[in-house]
Amino acid sequence: MTTLLEAPTTPPACAYETLPREETSSSVEGFIHSVETCGTVDGPGLRYVLFLHGCPLRCQYCHNPDSQGKPAGETRTAEEAFADVLKYKSFIRKGGLTLSGGEPLMQPDFVEAMFTLAKEAGIHTTLDTSGFVGHKASEALLDKTDLVLLDIKSFSPMTHKVVTGVCVDQTLKFAQRLDARGNKVWIRFVLVPGLTDNEKNINGLAQFVNQLGNVERVEILPFHKMGEEKYKLSGLPYKLANTPTPTPEAVDSARAIFARHGVVAI
């Protein structure tokens, strides 16, 4: 059985610098990477997806490598950014607003301000995060979060370090914090042949998720090379250039492992 981890009360030693906390209001500024106005894969229903700039991870398969590092680039106040969301309110009424990245919790005050405005407008909120800087998410922010898409890149500490460049402990602690609070969670796991598809790794993750009472499902995401061209344009090496997409049989096998542990995986 996986040993439960204590929720962090202080920033972890492997934590990454985030923006200084400031008074939460609609005037809080955020660094914006991009927008998808009709997203269908980042939470339930049709969604307005706002990708924020800045991320402490260096995921080998990242499809937004230009969002890595400290937050930078175009800025908007929460009020300005949310005004654009409202233009699509009738379209996303059965979906909602998703904040992704990058890593949105690099800018926790902006996330909280956006979710405050969304809840006031009756719009469903989803946070897409790796959980690595989850200790930066205030209780108030999480109170305004209807759903968390928690990306667990690997359960194996060694593999997680290889895939992302950072430790996995903080992600697992954040998962347990969300469980203790009762936040609804969908776990996301990218299946990468020769990297994260090890049966022991998947078994470990399935056992861990089975201990959590708030996870509605696990989404197994087959590896793809969507970000490869961005790496070329940025002059960055793409380490997974020769890695194939997992076969349907491999994806089904991973789902079966989760099912054996009583976890719904799609």
Q: Tell me the average pLDDT across 151-166.
A: 96
Q: Which candidate, 228, 190, 51, 58, places its Cα nearest to that of 127?
A: 51
Averaged pLDDT, 172-195: 98
235 pLDDT tier (thresholds 50, 70, 90): confident
Looking at residue 18, its pLDDT comes to: 54
List strands edge to edge, sheet with 75-77: 75-77, 29-39, 47-52, 96-100, 125-129, 147-151, 185-191, 215-222
With a cut of 80, say whether residue 4 has pLDDT above it. no
User: For residue 2, what pLDDT band results from cuts at 50, 70 and 90?
Assistant: very low
pLDDT per residue as tens digits for the range 16-39? 555 555 455 778 999 999 999 999
Degrees to nearest 5, angle at CA 259 with 253 and 265: 80
Tokens describing residue 47: 């969604």
Least confident span in 11-20, 41-50, 203-212: 11-20
Residue 10 scores a pLDDT above 50: no
Lowest mean pLDDT among 7-11, 126-130, 261-265: 7-11
Helix, strand or coil, per DSSP, at residue 246: coil
The angle that helices 78-86 and 108-120 make with each other, rounded to 10 degrees, is 40
Residue 135 confidence (pLDDT): 97
Residue 185: pLDDT over 90: yes
Domain spanning 29-260, CATH architecture: Alpha-Beta Barrel (3.20)
Q: State the average pLDDT for the chain.
A: 91
Res. 15: pLDDT tops 90: no
Which is more confidently placed, 247 or 26?
A: 247
Over range 94-110, report the average pLDDT: 97
Report pLDDT for 234.
80
Average confidence (pLDDT) over 152-179: 97
CA-based diameter of the chain, in Å?
A: 50
- Residue 229, classified by CB atoms within 10 Å of its CB into exposed (0-12), middle (13-18) or buried (19+), is exposed
**Could you tell me if 215 and 185 are in contact, meaning their C-beta atoms sit under 8 angstroms apart?**
yes
* Domain residue ranges of the chain, discontinuous segments joined by +: 29-260
Mean pLDDT, residues 166-194 taken together: 98
With b meaning 16 or more CB within 10 Å and e meaning fewer, what string describes 185-221?
Answer: bbbbbbbbeebbbeeebbebbbbbbbebeebeebebb
pTM tops 0.75, yes or no: yes
* Predicted confidence (pLDDT) per residue in 43-84, tens digit: 999 999 999 999 999 999 988 888 888 898 899 999 999 999
| Rounded-to-integer distance, Cα 98 and Cα 110, Å | 13
Candidates 37, 33, 184; CA nearest to 96 is 37
3-state secondary structure of 208: helix
Going by C-alpha positions, the residue among 126, 93, 100, 132 that lies closest to residue 30 is 100
Structure tokens at 93: 């009424």
- Are 29 and 195 in contact by the 8 Å Cβ rule? The answer is no
Six token digits for residue 135: 């200790």
